[in-house]
Every structure is written in structure tokens, then in C-alpha cells.
Amino acid sequence: MSQAPRPFGLPRAPVPKALVPVNFICVAPGAQSVAVVGDFNDWNAQANPLTQAFDGSWQGSLKLRHGHHRYAFWVDGALQVDPRGQGVSRNDQGQRVSLIAVS
């Protein structure tokens, strides 16, 4: 099966990359507030707050693009590395943060 010819000089439209739902869970039962921060939300602690579950963990889901992302949990005003993360890196301020690969 062949594609229809394109008029000369017109570029192909870029194929949008799908967003993939990613679940985040932070075990911090004594925390007052928890958010997930990362390169996907410009490290903004107000952008993606997590909701406390009945067991005391904090949970939420974000849709992220394919690729590798640096992130951390913002627990009561302090960064916390995710022990379930797929690796550890450093953010632009040199702080330890977690890595996740989205495919």
C-alpha cells in the first residue's frame, strides 16, 4: 500500500508523541502535604499535589511523554528521593533526585 503523493515542498506533519499515564506513590504517613515535582512540571510544588490514601501513602497519576525524566517528592517543603525510582540523578541545583523511564 503506498501513500498518497504530497505536494512538493510541504513537510510531513510531526507525529505527536502520546502521553503515558504514570502512577506515583510516596510513603509518608505523617506528612501534611506531598507533591511530585520534576523536569515535566518545572519543579513546581503546586502543579501536581498527591492525595493521601487510607493507608497513609500519597498517590497520584500524571501523563508524561516518552523518555527519561528527573523527579522527586516534595514532602512538607523538602525534596525526597523515591526509593522505588529507576535510578538517581542530580537536578540543576545538584540535589539528588529520582529517575523514571517512560515508554
75: CATH:
2.60.40.10
Q: Is residue 71 part of a domain?
A: yes
Domain of residue 95 covers 19-102
Per-residue burial over 19-50, b if 16 or more Cβ lie within 10 Å, else e, is eeebebebebeebeebbbbbbbbebebeebeb
pTM score, two decimals?
0.81
Residue 4 pLDDT > 60, yes or no? no
CA distances from 48 to 6, 27, 53, 61, 82 (A): 42, 16, 16, 9, 15
Between residues 9 and 40, the one the model is more confident about: 40
Give the span between the Cα atoms of 19 and 5, in whole angstroms: 30
Q: Is residue 11 part of a domain?
A: no
Q: Is residue 61 part of a domain?
A: yes
User: What is the residue whose three cell numbers read 512538607?
Assistant: 76
Q: How many domains does the chain have?
A: 1
